[in-house]
Each structure stands twice: as C-alpha cells, then as structure tokens.
C-alpha cells in the first residue's frame, strides 16, 4: 500500500496482489490491519473514477465469498465491513447488500448489525431503491442508539 500511496506501484497491481493473497489469510490481525487500512483506501483514493464501479464490485464479490467461508470472529467482521463499503460500487451491489441485510438473499455467516442497516438505508437513498422514507422510519423505530439520533 505504501508503494501505491507513494506512486511506486499502481493501485491495480496492489489490489490484484491483495485479491490473490488475502482470501487465504487466516490471521485476523493481519486482515484487520490490511483490509480497512490498505485495501479500502486504495479502492477509494487510488483507483481511477472510471474503474471504481467494476473494481469495487469485484471486491464486493470477494468479500461476500469470504464472509460466507470465514470462521466467526474478527476476520468475518472485517470482511463484512469492507463488503459494506464496496456495496457503493453500483446499483447491483447496493441491491445485493440490501438483500443480505434484509434477509431476502441469505448470506451464510452474515448477521446484519445496526450500522449495516443504516448503510442499507443510505444505499436505498443514493440509488433510489425502494421506499427510502419507510426504511428510515423503520430504522429510527428499531434503533435507539446515538447514531440513529444523528
């Protein structure tokens, strides 16, 4: 990642290496360090805008596969978080993530948390998917956390 940040390696090369190596990584500490701090920023900051939808959609699929095949714990949680971030790739990934959250398309190992439900609401609004106002009102009624109040 540092080489990508310093323009010594292309983001595409870095993400290809990460794609090839990280799915077989079993050390949760490494995944916790690399996925949110290296892969996520590389996707958001270094991939050309024209390539972002396809690249993020590819990572969304990788994450979904890892969520369903990872043992419960930190590794699965980190893959879930990156999957939520990559759901912004396009309307298809957004719809799939929303279906995972709503349970309409079960994903083994995925249990939607409050943050996932709010991400689903944001995706609905951003991509004009479903009744946004009804979703927000349902979340406000179900979520008593400080995030819901903001």
pLDDT of 3: 67
pLDDT at 72 over 90: no
Q: What is the pTM of this model?
A: 0.86
Residue with tokens 């083994």: 108
Which phi and psi angles does 25 have, rounded to 5°? -75, 130
pLDDT of 118: 93
pLDDT at 149 over 80: no
- Nearest 5°: the CA angle 86, 90, 91 is 120
Burial (CB < 10 A; 0-12, 13-18, 19+), residue 90, is middle
pLDDT classification of 10: cutoffs 50, 70, 90: confident
Instruction: State how far the Cα of 21 lies from the Cα of 114, in Å rounded to an integer.
Output: 30
Digit-coded pLDDT (tens) for 37-70: 889 988 988 899 999 999 999 999 999 999 988 7
pLDDT of 17: 92
pLDDT of 26: 84
pLDDT of 2: 65
pLDDT classification of 132: cutoffs 50, 70, 90: very high
Which positions ≥6 away from 145 have C-beta within 8 Å? Answer: 114
Give the distance from CA 94 to its chain's centroid: 10
Longest C-alpha distance within the chain, in Å? 49
What is the average pLDDT value for the chain, to the nearest integer? Answer: 89
* Total residue length of the chain: 150
- Nearest 5°: the CA angle 104, 119, 55 is 90
As given in the structure block, the two tokens for residue 111 are 């249990």
Instruction: State how far the Cα of 77 lies from the Cα of 55, in Å rounded to an integer.
Output: 21
pLDDT of 59: 95
Residue with tokens 């939808």: 53
């Amino acid at each position: 990642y540092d080489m990508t940040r310093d323009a010594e390696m292309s983001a595409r090369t870095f993400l290809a290496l990460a794609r090839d190596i990280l799915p077989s990584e079993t050390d949760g500490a490494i995944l916790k360090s690399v996925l949110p701090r290296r892969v996520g920023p590389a996707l958001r900051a270094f991939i050309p805008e024209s390539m972002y939808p396809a690249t993020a959609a590819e990572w969304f699929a990788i994450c979904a596969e890892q969520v369903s095949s990872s043992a419960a714990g930190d590794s699965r949680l980190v893959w879930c978080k990156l999957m939520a971030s990559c759901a912004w790739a396009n309307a298809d990934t957004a719809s799939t993530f929303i279906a995972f959250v709503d349970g309409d398309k079960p994903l083994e190992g995925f249990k939607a948390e409050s943050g996932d439900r709010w991400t689903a609401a944001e995706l609905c609004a951003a991509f004009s998917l479903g009744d946004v106002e009804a979703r927000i009102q349902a979340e406000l009624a179900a979520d008593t956390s400080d995030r819901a109040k903001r």
